[in-house]
């Protein structure tokens, strides 16, 4: 079992290494490594400043506005917030079961978002690294180099993402800041023309997604020893699963497994998620630290997202993605369960699932006809949970007599993975930090570890090798002994 992160007996005497993304965009992260006298990494702190003031911002607003409003607050996966907020708002509106049309339209939108997000992450942000290796010179690790050396892969990556965006545009009206969800349903169904438009490219989308899985798998297999071991650690896993245990990204009950794979809880109603998950606040971070109540704050941290979902569910309900999931699980006796870098492989399997899921939905006549909205008895508390591209996303609102939001709590995917990212960074630093010297190699490896979790940070939207970072090395007295900065153009300078 991994050494707990906060175990350093006397953190005050540890040296600190601060790695700070320098970005003008709001929302940045910073990594601090605490070393002991023997220069061993004992603690890792990934500081994240996101979603500041959101809870305040929505106070007093009418609840039906929130699913649309939340999209503005996160530019990285607005659709996920739209849907999770929408589910919470369904509950407020007393809509217990949606019409088939409404649910399928929302699922279609969600698959579109999964497809575009996973394609973006893999092809644009991570493929240079995966294809050329993360020791390759920085000039090579760019999408342009991929386009030059692997034009076919690059082109398919762009078109896959575009297809996902088109699904979003057709269902929500716009690629960004559209709207589909209304309390208790949706505002549109597909026209036959829109359905045919999406059908035209779906077969190739499924094929290319399958090719993408093959690429991710081959890359993982080729570097198997390194990939199995890089920032690898067992941890509990959390995700939604369908009633029959299947992977379900839109709806289900909460399931958690322990680090050993044993089920901790299953099919739990997310409407009372706080009975299962607690959050602690730590003085050095703006972000909360959720943990599984059953395991306590020290051992209860967990992982969410593609890898957690594929390991957590019993099967994927689309055949090709399920076959790929089996390969992932069976690989070298289950080595991928703990492997941070297996997230990339898992992400592509999910992309294939999304593509297959879209194809199945497009064949369903419910998308073209049927009631859009159900109404019910208004309630005062609403909780909505979905599996967003990056993992479980929880929206929780409370309203007053006049339909105005009085309280709001969000737990975003990146928050769930907060402690897991710290642990990944710690593992990497432990292995690659050499004495008192900061190297570009260390910086790159830390970035690779963080990147695998696809955190929703603005600094993370730069291509790999271009995440702006400043690394500072301080000795026990707090004096800076070394400083390494990488700018957004990829150039590295000392000082």
Partner 1 sequence: MSGRTFTLDGQPVPFTEGETVMEAALAAGVYIPHLCYRPGYGHHGSCKVCTVAIDGHNAASCTTRAREGMAVETATPELADMRRALVEMLFVEGNHTCPACEKSGECELQAVAYHIGMAAPRFDFFFPARDLDASHPDVILDRNRCILCELCVRASRDVDGKNVFAIGGRGIRARLIVNAASGRLGDTDLAKDDAAVRVCPVGAILRKGDAYTKPVGQRTFDLRPIAAVAIEEARRERERRRG
Report how far apart the first and last C-alpha atoms of the chain are (Å, whole number): 38
* Residue among 6, 366, 403, 482 that touches partner 1 (CB under 8 A): 403
Query: Which range in 67-75, 153-161, 226-234, 313-321 contacts partner 1 by CB under 8 A?
Result: 67-75
Tell me: does residue 62 bind partner 1 (CB under 8 A): yes
CA–CA dist 229, 227 (Å, integer) = 5
CA–CA dist 217, 231 (Å, integer) = 18
Query: Which range in 314-322, 400-408, 423-431, 484-492 contacts partner 1 by CB under 8 A?
Result: 400-408
Tell me: does residue 187 bind partner 1 (CB under 8 A): yes
Tell me: does residue 69 bind partner 1 (CB under 8 A): yes
Query: Which range in 28-36, 66-74, 221-229, 276-284 contacts partner 1 by CB under 8 A?
Result: 66-74
Quick one: 61 or 293, whose CB is closer to partner 1? 61
Tell me: does residue 56 bind partner 1 (CB under 8 A): no
| Structural contact between residues 42 and 8, judged by C-beta atoms closer than 8 angstroms | yes
In terms of phi and psi (left: phi > 0; alpha: psi -120 to 50; beta: otherwise), the region of 173 is left
> Which H or E element spans position 279?
strand 277-281
Tell me: does residue 179 bind partner 1 (CB under 8 A): yes
CA–CA dist 382, 398 (Å, integer) = 6
* Residue among 140, 162, 188, 288 that touches partner 1 (CB under 8 A): 188
Helical packing angle, 202-222 and 151-172, nearest 10°: 130
Tell me: does residue 381 bind partner 1 (CB under 8 A): no
> Which H or E element spans position 360?
helix 342-362
Q: How far is the CB of 288 from partner 1 (least distance, A)?
A: 25
* Residue among 65, 103, 207, 279 that touches partner 1 (CB under 8 A): 65
| Structural contact between residues 296 and 303, judged by C-beta atoms closer than 8 angstroms | no
* Residue among 72, 155, 224, 436 that touches partner 1 (CB under 8 A): 72
Quick one: 188 or 398, whose CB is closer to partner 1? 188
* Residue among 4, 151, 173, 441 that touches partner 1 (CB under 8 A): 173
Tell me: does residue 319 bind partner 1 (CB under 8 A): no
Tell me: does residue 422 bind partner 1 (CB under 8 A): no
| Structural contact between residues 113 and 170, judged by C-beta atoms closer than 8 angstroms | no
Tell me: does residue 198 bind partner 1 (CB under 8 A): no
Tell me: does residue 398 bind partner 1 (CB under 8 A): no
CA–CA dist 58, 26 (Å, integer) = 19
* Residue among 2, 22, 49, 61 that touches partner 1 (CB under 8 A): 61
> Per-residue contact track with partner 1, 94 to 123, x per CB under 8 A?
------------------------------
CA–CA dist 290, 363 (Å, integer) = 40
Coil, strand or helix at 399: strand
Q: Of residues 209-228, which lie at the interface with partner 1 (CB under 8 A)?
A: none
Q: How far is the CB of 165 from partner 1 (least distance, A)?
A: 15
In this structure, the number of other CB atoms found within 10 A of the CB of residue 213 comes to 26
Q: How far is the CB of 400 from partner 1 (least distance, A)?
A: 8
| Structural contact between residues 7 and 31, judged by C-beta atoms closer than 8 angstroms | no
Tell me: does residue 431 bind partner 1 (CB under 8 A): no
Tell me the helices (H) and strands (E) count for the chain, helix number first. 17, 16
Coil, strand or helix at 7: helix
* Residue among 172, 341, 351, 469 that touches partner 1 (CB under 8 A): 172
In this structure, the number of other CB atoms found within 10 A of the CB of residue 276 comes to 18
Give me the residues paired with residue 265 across strands.
256
Tell me: does residue 5 bind partner 1 (CB under 8 A): no
Residues recorded for the chain: 495
Which residues in this chain contact partner 1 in the complex, by CB under 8 A?
Answer: 60-62, 64-65, 68-69, 71-72, 172-174, 177-183, 187-188, 373, 402-404
């Amino acid at each position: 079992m991994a050494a707990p992160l906060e175990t350093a007996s006397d953190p005050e005497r540890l040296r600190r290494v601060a790695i700070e993304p320098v970005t003008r965009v709001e929302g940045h992260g910073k990594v601090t490594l605490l070393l002991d006298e023997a220069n061993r990494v004992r603690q890792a702190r990934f500081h994240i400043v996101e979603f500041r003031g959101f809870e305040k911002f929505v106070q007093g607003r009418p609840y039906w506005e929130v699913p649309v409003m939340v999209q503005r607050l996160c530019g990285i996966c607005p659709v996920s917030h739209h849907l999770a907020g929408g589910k919470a708002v369904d509950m407020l509106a007393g809509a217990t079961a949606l019409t088939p049309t409404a649910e399928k339209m929302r699922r279609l939108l969600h698959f579109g978002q999964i497809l575009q997000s996973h394609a973006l992450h893999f092809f644009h942000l991570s493929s240079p690294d995966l294809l050329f290796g993360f020791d390759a010179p920085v000039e090579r690790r760019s999408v342009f180099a991929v386009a030059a050396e692997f034009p076919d892969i690059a082109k398919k990556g762009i078109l896959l993402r575009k297809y996902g965006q088109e699904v979003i545009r057709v269902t929500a009206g716009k690629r960004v800041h559209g709207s589909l969800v209304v309390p208790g349903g949706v505002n549109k169904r597909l026209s036959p023309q829109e359905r045919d438009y999406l059908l035209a490219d779906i077969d190739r989308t499924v094929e290319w997604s399958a090719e993408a899985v093959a690429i991710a798998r081959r890359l993982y297999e080729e570097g198997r020893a390194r990939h199995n071991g890089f920032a690898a650690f067992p941890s509990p896993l959390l995700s939604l699963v369908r009633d029959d245990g299947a992977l379900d990204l839109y709806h289900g009950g909460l399931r958690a497994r322990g680090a050993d794979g044993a089920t901790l809880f299953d099919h739990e109603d997310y409407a009372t998620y706080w009975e299962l998950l607690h959050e602690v606040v730590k003085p050095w971070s703006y972000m909360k630290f959720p943990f599984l109540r059953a395991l306590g704050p020290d051992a209860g941290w967990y992982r969410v997202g593609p890898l957690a979902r594929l390991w957590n569910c019993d099967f994927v309900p689309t055949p090709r993605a399920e076959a790929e999931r089996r390969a992932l699980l069976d690989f070298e006796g289950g080595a991928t369960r703990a492997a941070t870098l297996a997230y990339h492989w898992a992400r592509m399997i999910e992309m294939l699932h999304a593509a297959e899921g879209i194809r199945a939905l497009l064949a369903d006549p419910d998308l073209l006809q049927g009631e859009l909205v159900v109404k019910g008895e208004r309630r005062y508390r609403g909780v909505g949970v979905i599996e967003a591209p990056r993992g479980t996303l929880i929206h929780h609102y409370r309203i007053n007599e006049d339909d105005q939001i009085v309280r709001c709590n969000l737990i975003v995917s990146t928050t769930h993975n907060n402690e897991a990212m710290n642990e990944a960074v710690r593992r990497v630093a432990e292995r690659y930090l050499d004495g008192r010297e900061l190297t570009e190699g260390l910086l790159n490896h830390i970035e690779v570890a963080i990147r695998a979790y696809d955190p929703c940070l603005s600094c993370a939207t730069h291509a790999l090798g271009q995440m702006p970072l400043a690394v500072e090395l301080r000795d026990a007295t707090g004096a800076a002994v070394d400083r390494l900065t990488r700018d957004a153009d990829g150039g590295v300078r000392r000082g």
